[in-house]
Structure 1
């Protein structure tokens, strides 16, 4: 098996990838980078010139951007069934929500957090449109089935669920029943609990 390393910080989106790795139950190494000099050091910038975490190396392959890492890992370890089959109708749904969370949802919640103007005058020019439209779209999807792609838990749930969880924590998402019930269901998973314990332990070292 090719060596797999996660570059992360416990106060980062690296927690999403940690959770996914625990769901996959595959061996991996952790490289914790501190904000400041370590994350901007030349050796790390050679892997990710953005100087951000997370990133992974898988053998000679480098992957950055959290949604891309999730999609890559689910495909690399396809036997763990954390992505719908390639020839299934749910595969398109899976991609839709992975990138909905990476695009419109993150944009809308960032705008909320930093009081950026989103209104009828500029909604057509930004990726998320109006804030309420983004939330309503997500809420509608979560009321249709147990998970974001149907009855199968996937890497998209790890990614989408993490964004919703943080949005609720930081009040950038309204506390709607569909959101809170979904997050509670996901956070009760053994891999999610284990991943949180591992990352929380890093906060005290």
Structure 2
């Protein structure tokens, strides 16, 4: 039975490498994959899924106004084995509903990967809806940059300092975010941050 999966984790938990691995595994068995990513994520270019270890591949770039059910139905045949969505936190709640509708009516499994919450510990709208609708939730783990315990969130660094307010969406990678546990999100080691993010 097809299901809607949401795999979430803090920055640097390996979400993009995992989605690329899943795509490779399906395709190595001769099965068709549809890889999608919101147009919002431009770190490696529009319509590109890229991991921090250097692997990348093209994906279908989706806009906030796109109806994903209509889009998927118009471009897929009976041989589509799975739909993989990277950076799913940037989907609209309506698009998550459309993915659930795809699972239930087209009987195609959907695996969505993304952040649960933003750098201020608020849920992204897409992630909130995925938590509400997904058949299965799985946390991908990484460690806190300060203590080595499990990271549950990410701290945004701007001009060498933790940023506690601002726009929810601020596209960046290792140059702008570090994974942290809750304790060190509230009380980060500022000396370590200064060495990790030297102001030029």
- TM-score under structure 2 normalisation? 0.32
The structure with more helix, counted as a fraction of residues: 1
The structure with more strand, counted as a fraction of residues: 2
Greater relative contact order, per chain length (Cα 8 Å cut-off, separation 6+): 2
